[in-house]
Amino acid sequence: MFKITTSALLILLLLTLQGCTSPASKAGGPSASAAPRKPNIVLIVADDLGYGDLGSYGQQLIQTPHLDRLAAEGMRFTDFYAGAPVCAPSRCTLLTGKHPGHALVRDNWEAGGWGEFDAEGQLPLTEGTLTLGSALQEAGYATACVGKWGLGGPGSTGAPNHQGFDHFYGYLCQRQAHNFYPTHLWDDDQRIELEGNVWKNLTGPHYAHDLMTDDALEWTAEQGDNPFFLLLTYTIPHLALQVPDDSMEPYIGEWEDPPYEGGKGYLPHPTPRAAYAGMVSRMDRDVGRLLDQLQADGLDEDTLVIFTSDNGATYDIGGAHSEFFESNGVLRGAKGSVYEGGMRVPMIARWPGQVDSGVVSGAIGAFWDFMPTLLDVADQDMAPGAGLDGTSLLPVLRGESPDPERALYWEFPGYGSQQALRMGDWMLVRRFLGDSAKTTTELFNLSEDLAQEHDLAEQYPVRVEGMLARMAAEHVPSEQFPLRGIDTPAK
- Residue-level pLDDT at 51: 98
Model pLDDT for residues 117-144, shown as the tens digit of each residue: 899 999 999 999 999 999 999 999 999 9
Ranking 194-198, 285-289, 317-321, 476-480 by mean pLDDT, the lowest is 317-321
Q: Which H or E run contains 297?
A: none
What is the three-class DSSP state of 6?
helix
> What's the mean pLDDT in 84-111?
97
Q: For residues 411 and 413, what is the distance between their CA atoms, to the nearest angstrom?
A: 7
Q: For residues 14 and 28, what is the distance between their CA atoms, to the nearest angstrom?
A: 20
Q: For residues 47 and 174, what is the distance between their CA atoms, to the nearest angstrom?
A: 11
Q: For residues 255 and 251, what is the distance between their CA atoms, to the nearest angstrom?
A: 8
Is there a contact between 156 and 121 (Cβ–Cβ < 8 Å)? yes
410 forms beta bridges with 420
Q: For residues 124 and 151, what is the distance between their CA atoms, to the nearest angstrom?
A: 5
The yes-or-no verdict on residue 5 having pLDDT over 90 is no
Q: Give the largest CA-CA distance in the chain.
A: 111
Q: Which H or E run contains 278?
A: helix 272-296
Neighbours of 287 (CB within 10 A): 25
Q: For residues 399 and 389, what is the distance between their CA atoms, to the nearest angstrom?
A: 22
Model pLDDT for residues 374-427, shown as the tens digit of each residue: 999 999 988 767 899 999 999 999 999 999 999 999 999 999 999 999 999 999
All domains in the chain, ordered by first residue: 40-403 (3.40.720.10), 413-474 (3.30.1120.10)
Calculated CA dihedral for residues 166, 80, 418, 483, nearest 10 degrees: -40
> What's the mean pLDDT in 52-70?
98
> What's the mean pLDDT in 146-159?
98
Model pLDDT for residues 172-188, shown as the tens digit of each residue: 999 999 999 999 999 99
The yes-or-no verdict on residue 88 having pLDDT over 80 is yes
Model pLDDT for residues 267-281, shown as the tens digit of each residue: 999 999 999 999 999
Calculated CA dihedral for residues 404, 59, 281, 234, nearest 10 degrees: -30
Model pLDDT for residues 272-318, shown as the tens digit of each residue: 999 999 999 999 999 999 999 999 999 999 999 999 999 999 988 88
Residue 285 contacts by C-beta under 8 Å, 6 or more apart in sequence?
66, 247
> What's the mean pLDDT in 447-465?
98
Q: For residues 229 and 245, what is the distance between their CA atoms, to the nearest angstrom?
A: 32
Is there a contact between 340 and 452 (Cβ–Cβ < 8 Å)? yes
In degrees, rounded to 5, the angle at the alpha carbon of residue 307 between the alpha carbons of residues 53 and 192 is: 100
15 forms beta bridges with none
> Residue 34: which pLDDT band, with cuts at 50, 70 and 90?
low
HSE of 54, CA atoms in CB hemisphere, 13 A: 30
- Residue-level pLDDT at 410: 98
% of the chain at pLDDT higher than 90: 86
Q: Which amino acid is at 232?
A: L
Q: What does the mean pLDDT of the chain come to?
A: 92
Residue 366 contacts by C-beta under 8 Å, 6 or more apart in sequence?
80, 81, 82, 83, 93, 99, 390, 408
Quote the distance between the C-alpha of residue 11 and its chain's center. Answer: 63
> Residue 17: which pLDDT band, with cuts at 50, 70 and 90?
very low
- Residue-level pLDDT at 491: 77
Which one-letter DSSP state was computed for residue 398?
T
Residue 15 contacts by C-beta under 8 Å, 6 or more apart in sequence?
none
- Residue-level pLDDT at 455: 98
Is there a contact between 300 and 294 (Cβ–Cβ < 8 Å)? yes
- Residue-level pLDDT at 211: 98
Model pLDDT for residues 201-260, shown as the tens digit of each residue: 999 999 999 999 999 999 999 999 999 999 999 999 999 999 999 999 999 999 999 999
Cis peptide upstream of residue 237 (ω within 30 degrees of 0): yes
The yes-or-no verdict on residue 32 having pLDDT over 90 is no
DSSP 147-192: EE--S--TTSTTSGGGTT-SEEEEESSTTGGG-SS-SEEEETTEEE
Reference 305, options 4, 17, 27, 73; nearest CA is 73
Q: For residues 155 and 481, what is the distance between their CA atoms, to the nearest angstrom?
A: 23
Q: For residues 151 and 266, what is the distance between their CA atoms, to the nearest angstrom?
A: 23
- Residue-level pLDDT at 265: 80
- Residue-level pLDDT at 263: 81
- State residue 138 phi and psi, 5-degree precision: -60, -30
- Residue-level pLDDT at 316: 84
Is there a contact between 308 and 56 (Cβ–Cβ < 8 Å)? no
